[in-house]
Amino acid sequence: MKSFSFVTLASGFALVVAVAAQDGTKTTWDGVYSAAQAARGQAVYADKCAKCHGTEGGGGDAPELVGSAFGSNYDTFTVNELFERIRMSMPADNPTTLTRDETAVITAHLLEMNGFPAGTTELPTTADGLGKIKYVAIKPAGAPAQAAAEPAPPRLRAAGVLDGPDPKQMETAPALGFTAVNPGLKMPAGIKLGAPSSVAFDKSGNLWVFNRGEHPLMEFDPQGSFVRSFGEGQVTRSHGMRIDADGNIWMTDVTGSTVTKMSPAGNVLLTLGTKGQNGAWDEAAGTRLLFEPCDLAFAPNGDVFVVEGHGRGEGRVLKFDKTGKFLKQWGSNGAGEGQFNQPHSLLVRDGQLYVADRENHRVQIFDLDGNFVKQWKFAGLPCGLLNGPDGQLYLTSGFSGQILRLDANGKAVGAFGQPGPGFADFGEAHYMAFAPNGDIYVADTINQVLHRYAKP
């Protein structure tokens, strides 16, 4: 039986930027385009792209091209991935017609809009040259800023955080009264927690943290002491995690495009998709692939629902039985009923399936066969759904920085949190979990911390 490798002690991890420096590649923070090239790109973008994506890249009929949601789609990929996406899909009414030079100047303009500094040389137009530049969304320490003469337009920083509350992106509700406290994790020497993407508690009260460091899955006992880690070298980019009724840990690798079911002992019991291969699940054609799986949920009979499409893949829900046998799927990109724009989370509640349709600012509700029932709209970006121990539904709102308690009609009846860089603030309230004592833990992928909020 295949097992996830696990360790109890190991050395710390090297950052992507350090690896890039060692192997001779550059990152997007190394001045890989010129200001003149970006200026040419602005004109081409206005002609070819602005109609759908907005003049400042803020979205419209097509997704946003600035901010952390956009950056997270390409983070740790090469710039060639972004270049090819532009070349093959723009303009929407006449795709694949851009020349390589037009694509390069548009790419330079997007890098400038996302806050990356200009340099003295132009962005290359060849796949080989572009493949030597890593897209690194979060600014590393010591990286150059944009020149004062070339300020970025007002927008979310590429690093992805709001500097403070934005009422237009937040719900108004009574305060829930939770208080930020130190999570109290006791880490051994040489082990570092990467940016947490998801968090859960098992039946014994142990805490599990899925993160984007060298040790992607970590277990802690109820006192916060490190127990062990799993998955070293086997997870490309951690995203969602759930623990089923039998104590098995299910994880989504959003970049590796797999869903893995692992026993508490570390044995891999089931894998959906093929690591590193993006594509469609098509039983007739014999292709059983996923494309950016984000989260999963379990029905009372053991059926498993997977939601996929994190900006590059098509937004879909796939349904499997408990053995991994494919049952059905539904969805496509769009804003209509049963369509999605970066669906990010889902759960089963009262015989219905709730889907956090993030970039459409809504939660869609279906029956367990995929028939649309209703939707709830939100000011922010619905990010993570959780059934609370009090029987109520909870929602994390991503970059809006709130934890929301919802009533049966989707109205926020309680809230806490705000965006920002402070100890109690969120860069991105990604996914959450309740501890056995009622405290709330939240994985924050942008501030790169695991938050703990003590119950009132």
What are the boundaries of each domain within the chain?
A: 16-134, 170-454
Report d(CA 126, CA 143) in Å as an integer.
25
This prediction's pTM: 0.70
CB 434 within 8 A of CB 416: no
Report d(CA 154, CA 354) in Å as an integer.
34
> What's the Cα-to-Cα distance from 155 to each of 33, 107, 227, rounded to whole Å?
20, 18, 42
Mean of pLDDT over the chain: 88
pLDDT digits (tens, 9 = 90+) for 164-199: 899 999 999 999 999 999 999 999 988 999 999 999
> What's the Cα-to-Cα distance from 316 to each of 265, 320, 330, rounded to whole Å?
31, 13, 6
Angle at 410 between CA 404 and CA 411, to 5 degrees: 65
pLDDT of residue 94: 84
How many CA atoms within 13 Å lie on the side-chain side of 112?
29
CB 122 within 8 A of CB 40: no
Report d(CA 430, CA 398) in Å as an integer.
5
Report d(CA 36, CA 42) in Å as an integer.
10
Architecture of the domain delimited by 16-134: Orthogonal Bundle (1.10)
Tokens of 32: 């890989």
Taking the CB of residue 284, how many other CB atoms lie within 10 A of it?
5
Domain 170-454 has CATH 3.10.20.600: no
**How many residues comprise the chain?**
456
pLDDT of residue 143: 62
pLDDT of residue 13: 29
Return per-residue pLDDT of the chain as tens, 456 residues.
566 665 554 333 233 334 444 455 899 999 999 988 988 988 898 888 888 887 777 666 677 787 766 777 788 789 999 999 899 888 888 888 999 999 999 999 999 888 889 999 999 999 999 999 999 887 776 666 554 433 322 223 433 468 889 999 999 999 999 999 999 999 998 899 999 999 999 999 999 999 999 999 999 999 999 999 999 999 999 999 999 999 999 999 999 999 999 999 999 999 999 999 999 999 999 999 999 999 999 999 999 999 999 988 999 999 999 999 999 999 999 999 999 999 999 999 999 999 999 999 999 999 999 999 999 999 999 999 999 998 999 999 999 999 999 999 999 999 999 998 888 899 999 999 999 999 999 999 988 899 999 999
pLDDT digits (tens, 9 = 90+) for 412-431: 999 999 998 888 899 999 99
